[in-house]
Structure 1
């Protein structure tokens, strides 16, 4: 959806694409939190399913649903109310401010829908129904394209521009949520049971938060770092900012392959950890991490070789296109490392080590990446190339630290003890 939205905004103007791209870092920040909250909860479901605790996992579904509704409503209200203030904080003014505010009010105000989509997606994935979840995502994208055509491009339509793109995204998400509801309750027939007592509600909520909170914090701080990066790039120049927003839609697509691998790996290892199958955990982790790195490198190279064609699809500005081509080549420096981060972190979380990946990500992002990006890009004059160098250092350093941690934990004597711990205590020991 993001790729289609950015392309359409580029047809409106580079200013529209750059300004919406700036505020979209905030909506992405919130949506990633909900997505990783759903994944963290999915890990709890997977381990319970691996242990055969059907009634307990059905109670967890109900508790997770309440948590997602409450947090989704709070996020939607905050983004809708403070859309203008957030846009100004990101440095937008004039027409850019109008674009950013309109988009943030509509898409941000619909965050509760994304929260519920993430929750039901986690339930389907934990039960092995990833294919139907894929169809729900495909349906949402088709709906988004159709609605954009009607609201923005249709000759007899309203031609709502940025507002139309935002409204199409929100309505398509609502359609995807309705399909997810039908899939979970009517097609797959997954049961949700309310916990029988207040104590059981609190116990389930505490367990879900214990697994979800560290899982949410890492991408939350990562996205906050992206917001800071956007401010740095905006200080470099508007052409560079527009190029960054266009190329992000491509590199994010590449990252989604690694993200999908990591989510599947996390669910699979969660089941295996619940069943105590340590040898299979080692094997599947090693193979998946290798596949992720090779795929990320191959896709990054394809994007770099096609950079001229790609940028010509997004913009008519020679300066923006040239900056975008450079950024796509820079993807070779950090996208393989990013894949290793996602798959290794998923492996660690699946065996109960949820704190270390989050702590490593936060410390390296804010202790290395942000200071280095600022110093290289502005004081040293490397502009947006400096940001890319800092990103490469950040991604590869985190991949190294997570890899070292996994090699330490996967030693036979330690690994058997970790996997065989009860689920509740494994979080406390991580």
Structure 2
């Protein structure tokens, strides 16, 4: 039994990005090795991506469970929390992308063999996430009522929204740290660890909702109970993630030796994180504007759009997970100077992503009647929903191509271009075109879908052109580090 336990521990601690089973984070004690550890043949993009997909799915399901429980309380509770959730979702999304920006930095340093520097970066990122998380928590806790009022909530709705925002918004610091630890584990190849943390968080959330809200003999705390369940489940996920990082995987954090080094690492992290955070912020604003345009078209179209989003978002999760796995692998390969392997792995992953998105969009279109019957009894809403699902063939493959190509660009250090393209095309092409085609020209929601298809495919084309340009052999030295055979300077 003792030997079996030791063998299991070794298998867990073996970094999936190391072909020789060496820990990228330096182990405990001893001199640092200033050599690049050769990675596996393909850095296992799929093996990195499938746990991320399940992690995203479990995170999505947590929101569905909360929504279902709120509906058991009252429609007013569900509506009010749905309104304030736009604020908390936005803040949590920013922390998630801040963690992904840090993961870009870690992966590249690990590929270069700069173990001491990456350990210092972990510490700086931890400090940064704590500071930003505390500020966000304080703002949402103190001004929860004012924010709920700005969202138009009054009376009982205002009370529900304020309670939820105070508890869940006040726990934003926990989410910030979860995102930071998730980025560290992902950069080191331990994406399954993040998946296990998401599973635990969901289980705790479901159990607490039952005990605090639904159990007949329980306290039945309503909206406050659901908010507390979410916050406490996040705390459990954070404790589990910290245990994984520090005790199970044993990733080392190192304090920067000077204030100058601390500022250097902080500036580097923000240089990668800010563009990564800006694009989804503008994207979220564009989605709000799109919803207003569709609402002006008609209530049936708006309802159909809300229902079909649950399907298209699930299809998009696969592309998102694939792009995150690709980003980790390319970051390591770029640091190691493996341009040829970057080209091969990127080409294969992009083709797989587009093929899967096209297949799933086709299946959604063919199953549109059955899918809409699960959501609505209205024939008008069902007809609009079936049409929207078929429209997924026009833009979902392009969306997958955007995610995988943008991740590749960010992984090799080009973080500004994808953000700039996303913001400019969204607001310079998509929003004006969606409005013009749907309302003045009378194409209704089909006009919005045409604009979306043009937007997604145009961005995919611009990003692909950029990648072909910078990955050309004569410009390879700009995006990759030193070759593997070259010695790496001490970090």
Same fold (TM over 0.5): yes
Structure 2: gaps spanning 5 or more residues = 1-61, 484-491
Q: Does 1:55 align with 2:107?
A: no
- CA displacement at 1:221 relative to structure 2: 1.3
Mapped contact 2:205–2:230 kept (Cα < 8 A): yes
Q: 1:332 aligns with which of 393, 405, 409?
A: 393
Aligned counterparts of 1:309 and 1:149: Cα–Cα separation in 2: 31
Mapped contact 2:335–2:482 kept (Cα < 8 A): no
When residues 309 and 221 of structure 1 are mapped into structure 2, their CA distance, relative to the original with a 3 A threshold, is: same
Aligned counterparts of 1:158 and 1:244: Cα–Cα separation in 2: 37
Mapped contact 1:30–1:220 kept (Cα < 8 A): no
SS of the aligned residue for 2:479 comes to helix
Mapped contact 1:75–1:112 kept (Cα < 8 A): yes
> What is the match of residue 437 of structure 2?
376
- CA displacement at 1:272 relative to structure 2: 0.4
CA RMSD in angstroms comes to: 2.8
Q: Does 1:108 align with 2:184?
A: no
Mapped contact 1:18–1:242 kept (Cα < 8 A): no
- CA displacement at 1:162 relative to structure 2: 4.6
- CA displacement at 1:224 relative to structure 2: 2.0
SS of the aligned residue for 1:419 comes to coil
SS of the aligned residue for 1:196 comes to coil
Q: 1:291 aligns with which of 352, 355, 363?
A: 352
> What is the match of residue 80 of structure 1?
141
Q: Does 1:279 align with 2:333?
A: no
Aligned counterparts of 2:475 and 2:298: Cα–Cα separation in 1: 51
> What is the match of residue 181 of structure 1?
242
When residues 347 and 210 of structure 1 are mapped into structure 2, their CA distance, relative to the original with a 3 A threshold, is: same
Q: Does 1:2 align with 2:63?
A: yes
Mapped contact 1:7–1:314 kept (Cα < 8 A): no
**How do 1:357-396 and structure 2 match up within 5 A?**
357-396=418-457
Mapped contact 1:46–1:271 kept (Cα < 8 A): yes
**How do 1:194-213 and structure 2 match up within 5 A?**
194-213=255-274
SS of the aligned residue for 2:113 comes to coil
Q: Calculate the TM-score normalised by the size of structure 2.
A: 0.78
Deviations 1:97-119 (A, max 9, x none): 55544443333332222111110
> What is the match of residue 425 of structure 1?
none
Q: Calculate the TM-score normalised by the size of structure 1.
A: 0.88
Q: Which moved more, 1:58-67 or 1:402-411?
A: 402-411
> What is the match of residue 428 of structure 1?
none
- CA displacement at 1:202 relative to structure 2: 0.4
When residues 264 and 98 of structure 1 are mapped into structure 2, their CA distance, relative to the original with a 3 A threshold, is: same
SS of the aligned residue for 2:217 comes to coil
When residues 142 and 81 of structure 1 are mapped into structure 2, their CA distance, relative to the original with a 3 A threshold, is: same
- CA displacement at 1:293 relative to structure 2: 1.3
Aligned counterparts of 2:353 and 2:299: Cα–Cα separation in 1: 34
Q: Does 1:127 align with 2:188?
A: yes
- CA displacement at 1:416 relative to structure 2: 3.4
- CA displacement at 1:133 relative to structure 2: 1.3
Structure with greater Cα Rg:
2
Mapped contact 1:31–1:115 kept (Cα < 8 A): yes
> What is the match of residue 33 of structure 1?
94
Aligned counterparts of 1:162 and 1:330: Cα–Cα separation in 2: 37
When residues 46 and 306 of structure 1 are mapped into structure 2, their CA distance, relative to the original with a 3 A threshold, is: same
Mapped contact 2:112–2:481 kept (Cα < 8 A): no
Aligned counterparts of 1:266 and 1:338: Cα–Cα separation in 2: 16
- CA displacement at 1:149 relative to structure 2: 3.1
- CA displacement at 1:325 relative to structure 2: 4.3
When residues 279 and 38 of structure 1 are mapped into structure 2, their CA distance, relative to the original with a 3 A threshold, is: same
Aligned counterparts of 1:345 and 1:303: Cα–Cα separation in 2: 26
Aligned counterparts of 2:147 and 2:82: Cα–Cα separation in 1: 13
Q: Does 1:259 align with 2:338?
A: no
Aligned counterparts of 1:372 and 1:404: Cα–Cα separation in 2: 23
> What is the match of residue 408 of structure 1?
469
Aligned counterparts of 2:318 and 2:193: Cα–Cα separation in 1: 17
SS of the aligned residue for 1:194 comes to coil
Structure 1: gaps spanning 5 or more residues = 423-430
- Number of corresponding residues: 422
Q: 1:137 aligns with which of 198, 206, 213?
A: 198
- CA displacement at 1:313 relative to structure 2: 4.5
When residues 155 and 176 of structure 1 are mapped into structure 2, their CA distance, relative to the original with a 3 A threshold, is: same
**How do 1:286-325 and structure 2 match up within 5 A?**
286-314=347-375, 323-325=384-386
Q: 1:191 aligns with which of 252, 270, 273?
A: 252
- CA displacement at 1:128 relative to structure 2: 1.2
- Structure 1 or 2: more helix by fraction: 1
